[in-house]
Amino acid sequence: MKNVIGKGAEAVIYKEEDRAVKHRVKKGYRHPDIDSGLRKFRTRREAKVLEKLSAIDFPGPKLIKMDDKDMKIDMEFIEGEKLRDVFEKNHIDYAEEVGKKIGRLHKEDIIHADLTTSNMIAKDQIHFIDFGLSFFSTKDEDKAVDLHLLDRALESKHHRVYDESMKAVIKGYSLEYPGHKEVLSRLKKVKERGRNKKK
């Protein structure tokens, strides 16, 4: 029996037994050929990212199967609490662990592209979920934007502990990712661009 557990801009996610199934649904406002091509490309790309996560033993959903005709991905369903709901109970330790895990992804040139505490599950350790926007990149800019998304999410969702939390994220990231200096330098420029846009 299908139990819908999430709806995003481009996909419906439902739970089937011990699996999470992501179905990229048709978009009527797009030309059918463009729509099909986009959904197929994104489904295949997400599957490749999930395969890479398994290869490096990263705590994320394990790919079970990918169907690029029905545009579906079957993956492991990860039980646990959303980090969003428990983050402020132990924000320093959680934030440092998150930073280290982002560093691990960036070492493998994986950009999550939707880093929020809603896309992380707290259990034995923090598991990252929802790699629907993820892609591979070697660019410092893409890695800086990835961190900037988390920075904005922490400021928005956890503003009471934001400053301490972001410092802990950067500490963990710096310990794990050898190229952190270049990325953190770029992060300052990305944040400055964001501030200028608000003016």
Domain boundary among 48, 76, 104: 76
This prediction's pTM: 0.93
Helix (H, G, I), strand (E, B) or coil at 87: helix
Helix (H, G, I), strand (E, B) or coil at 118: helix
Catalytic-labelled residue, pool 74, 114, 146, 151: 114
For 30-59, how does the pLDDT look when each residue is reduced to its tens digit (9 = 90+)?
899 999 999 999 999 999 999 999 999 999
The residue segments making up the domain with residue 12 are: 3-76
Show the DSSP H helices in 123-179 as ranges: 140-157, 162-176
Q: What is the CATH number of the domain that holds 25?
A: 3.30.200.20
For 127-160, how does the pLDDT look when each residue is reduced to its tens digit (9 = 90+)?
999 999 999 999 999 999 999 999 999 999 999 9
Respond yes or no: is residue 114 known to be catalytic. Answer: yes
Please say whether the beta carbons of 47 and 66 come within 8 A: yes
Q: Does residue 7 sit in the same domain as residue 68? A: yes
Tokens of residue 180, six digits? 């952190």
Please say whether the beta carbons of 100 and 143 come within 8 A: no
The span from the CA of 54 to the CA of 47, in Å, is: 11
